[in-house]
Amino acid sequence: MSDKAHINFNDQTYELPVIEGSENEKAIDISKLRGESGLITIDPGFKNTGSTKSEITFLDGEKGILRYRGYSIEDLAEKSSFIEVSYLLIYGDLPTPEQLSDFENEIKLHTLVHEDIKKILEGFPSNAHPMGVLSSLVTSLTAFYPKSLDPNRSAEAVDRSIIRILAKMPTFAAWAYKNEVGHPVNYPDNNLDYCSNFLKMMFSLPSENYDIDPVVANALDKLLILHADHEQNCSTSTVRIVGSSHASLYASISAGINALWGPLHGGANQAVIEMLENIKKDGGDTKKWMAKAKDKDDPFRLMGFGHRVYKNFDPRAKIIKKAADDVLEKLGVNDPILDIAKGLEEEALRDQYFVDRKLYPNVDFYSGIIYRALGIPVEMFTVMFAIGRLPGWIAQWKEMRENNEPIGRPRQVYTGHNVRPYPNK
Ligand code: SDX
């Protein structure tokens, strides 16, 4: 197998190195192309362009494979915990029992946020989308921990910033929800595990006890594992490029939250439920909505379907679909939109338009149905995605910084006016 590629242009041949990854992926290294030939490449949306080499997550879109640091998503979702997976992604290996215990305890020590952050929260109107509140509160950490602004401080300082944001993200998320519903915020309860603490901060009310349902807490833990990383997706690429300017971890994560918010990315889980609700209100006529999704003149897309990488199936969607049945049965929830979702999936799998374009349910298609059954309000679904994706963003930011990657600055092909004189006035 050759480790060289050749480009023939203007009667010249340029030889470029081909690199190969540990899973036999191959890439043409074009870092010297412009210097040698004057040519750049162009690839809107970076559909065929690699931005980095990474040891964190491996995806095989054709085979529906997803592995975090070599461990299959199926194994991790079944046997691990979100905190253990967070450690794995960030530090590269599964923690020993002692390392896991220390990591969990460290996180518990930092779940409380500065009381002045409530003043920032109270400045938001109750109709503020929780994703905007979340990204603002994460950015506010740069003010309360000014030493975190320098990402080049010691490894210990970076680890402290990592622990702080892992610990405070659920608090911020729950507080954003409480601001929306006009309830007093709840403070963290460090006697509880990560997910139970989040659920209690989200749902407990001053007037009553909140009993943690282990089915709900376990389902949430599994969902967070499934969202924890996904190589160079839109929001992770955002975190990396912001971090490449040596912006702080908190500034980079806040940027990632905003990128995730978009309905083509993490915002799809909210859009899926809104779409399914509309189909239900419209009488459940899935054939009509499938036709709209295929109509080029209709901006409607089947939310939760399609993926840039997965062209057979999203392994997370398979796990979540099964979990949806289990959780709804255990909770005794009968959600009619689950049947609509399954009907849409069955139709799409038979429809030539979807088959030709390799469009299958993605991670967002069924996740909202579980979140709804867990009592999470729809406008908080993407916030849940952000809580899950946080360790992946951290791991990718840390890898980019440790590899001392250069500042991200793509080129372009200019297609505007040629030089023209400023008019005499
Ligand atoms: C996530 O990258 C990641 O890893 C993301 C993610 C992660 O974990 O970080 O997996 C999380 O973001 C999942 C995706 C959530 N988004 C949605 O569910 C929104 C609906 N899906 C799409 O908008 C779309 O499928 C994307 C954005 C997910 C992928 O878009 P691509 O790869 O740029 O594909 P494309 O837009 O070029 O579509 C190719 C064709 C087009 O038709 P033609 O022009 O070839 O005729 O497929 C069509 C599209 O019109 N198409 C759809 C469709 N998705 C693609 N048609 C109808 N419904 C859809 N959902």
Ligand 1 pocket check for 306: Cβ under 6 Å: yes
pTM for this entry:
0.96
Report the C-alpha gap between 84 and 284 in whole angstroms.
41
What the block records as the tokens of 355 is: 């088959």
What the block records as the tokens of 23 is: 């899973």
Contacts of 344 (CB under 8 A, 6+ apart): 276, 279, 286, 289, 290, 302
Ligand 1 pocket check for 363: Cβ under 6 Å: yes
Tell me which of 46, 239, 265, 390 to substitute to probe ligand 1's pocket, judged by most ligand atoms within 8 Å of the beta carbon.
265
What the block records as the tokens of 396 is: 């990718």
- SS3 at position 200: helix
Ligand 1 pocket check for 359: Cβ under 6 Å: yes
Instruction: List the alpha helices (DSSP H) in 282-380.
Output: 286-294, 315-331, 336-350, 352-356, 363-373
For residue 7, give Cα distances in angstroms to 17, 38, 353, 370, 412: 11, 12, 35, 50, 20
Report the C-alpha gap between 21 and 228 in whole angstroms.
22
Task: Tell me what pLDDT residue 2 has.
Answer: 76
Residue with CA closest to ligand 1 atom 19: 264
What domains sit in the chain, N to C, each tagged with a CATH number? 98-412 (1.10.580.10)
Report the C-alpha gap between 239 and 255 in whole angstroms.
6
Task: Tell me what pLDDT residue 151 has.
Answer: 84
Ligand 1 pocket check for 293: Cβ under 6 Å: yes
- Given the residues 129, 307, 314, 351, the one annotated as active site: 307
Digitized pLDDT (tens) for each residue of the chain, 425 residues in all: 679 999 999 999 999 999 999 999 999 999 999 999 999 999 999 999 999 999 999 999 999 999 999 999 999 999 999 999 999 999 999 999 999 999 999 999 999 999 999 999 999 999 999 999 999 999 999 999 999 888 888 899 999 999 999 999 999 999 999 999 999 999 999 999 999 999 999 999 998 888 999 999 999 999 999 999 999 999 999 999 999 999 999 999 999 999 999 999 999 999 999 999 999 999 999 999 999 999 999 999 999 999 999 998 999 999 999 999 999 999 999 999 999 999 999 999 999 999 999 999 999 999 999 999 999 999 999 999 999 999 999 999 999 999 999 999 999 999 999 999 999 98
For residue 199, give Cα distances in angstroms to 220, 360, 373, 392: 9, 31, 13, 22
Q: Is 364 a catalytic residue?
A: yes
Residue with CA closest to ligand 1 atom 25: 306
Residue with CA closest to ligand 1 atom 26: 307
Ligand 1 pocket check for 114: Cβ under 6 Å: no
Q: Is 285 a catalytic residue?
A: no
Kindly report, residue by residue over 238-262, the tens digit of the pLDDT: 999 999 999 999 999 999 999 999 9
Give φ, ψ of 58 to 5 degrees.
Answer: -120, 130
